[in-house]
C-alpha cells in the first residue's frame, strides 16, 4: 500500500507516544499515513476484499502498473473520505467505524 501521508503540509509536532497511543485525539497527526490508519483500525482484510472486487471487475492484473492503476484510486477515495469525515476527538473506534462504513458502501456498490 502506498505511503500516503494524511497530515497537513505544515503541522506542529505531535510529540512522542508512537502509533499505539490513541492518535485521533484532536487532528490527524503529522506523519500519519493511510497505511498506519488501516493497520491501527484493523481494516486491512476488509480493504483487501474491496480491492479484489475491483481487480476482478477489471479482469485481473498483468503487471505491477496495472495493479496500481486499479488500486490507487481506491486508496485516494478512502483518504478523501477520512479527511472529510474525521472530527476532532474521534477515537480509534470512531476511525475504525468510519473506514469500515466506507469500505462496506463501496463493496455494496460493486455487487
**pLDDT 10s digits, 5-41:** 454 443 443 344 444 444 444 456 556 789 999 998 9
Find where cell 463493496 sits.
107
| pLDDT at 73 (0 to 100) | 96
Quote the pTM value.
0.74
User: How far is Cα 61 from Cα 55, in angstroms, rounded to an integer?
Assistant: 7
- Position 60 confidence tier, pLDDT thresholds 50, 70, 90: confident
The helix/strand count (H/E) of the chain reads as: 4, 0
How many percent of the chain have pLDDT more than 90?
A: 52
- Cβ–Cβ < 8 Å for 105, 77: no
- Domain assignment present for residue 81? The answer is yes
DSSP single-letter state for residue 29: P
Q: What is the DSSP letter of 88?
A: T
Do the domain assignments include residue 80?
yes
**6 within a domain of the structure (yes/no):** no
- Specify the number of domains making up the chain: 1
Enter the C-alpha cell of residue 107.
463493496
Domain membership of residue 73 as a residue range = 34-110
Amino acid at each position: 500500500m502506498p505511503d500516503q501521508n494524511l497530515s497537513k503540509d505544515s503541522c506542529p509536532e505531535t510529540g512522542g507516544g508512537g502509533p499505539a497511543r490513541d492518535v485521533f485525539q484532536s487532528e490527524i497527526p503529522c506523519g500519519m499515513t493511510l497505511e498506519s490508519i488501516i493497520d491501527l483500525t484493523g481494516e486491512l482484510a476488509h480493504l483487501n476484499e474491496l480491492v479484489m472486487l475491483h481487480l476482478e471487475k477489471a479482469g485481473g492484473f498483468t503487471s505491477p502498473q496495472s495493479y496500481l492503476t486499479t488500486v490507487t484510486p481506491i486508496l485516494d477515495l478512502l483518504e478523501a473520505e477520512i479527511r472529510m469525515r474525521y472530527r476532532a476527538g474521534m477515537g480509534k473506534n470512531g476511525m475504525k467505524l468510519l473506514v469500515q462504513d466506507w469500505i462496506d458502501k463501496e463493496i455494496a456498490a460493486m455487487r
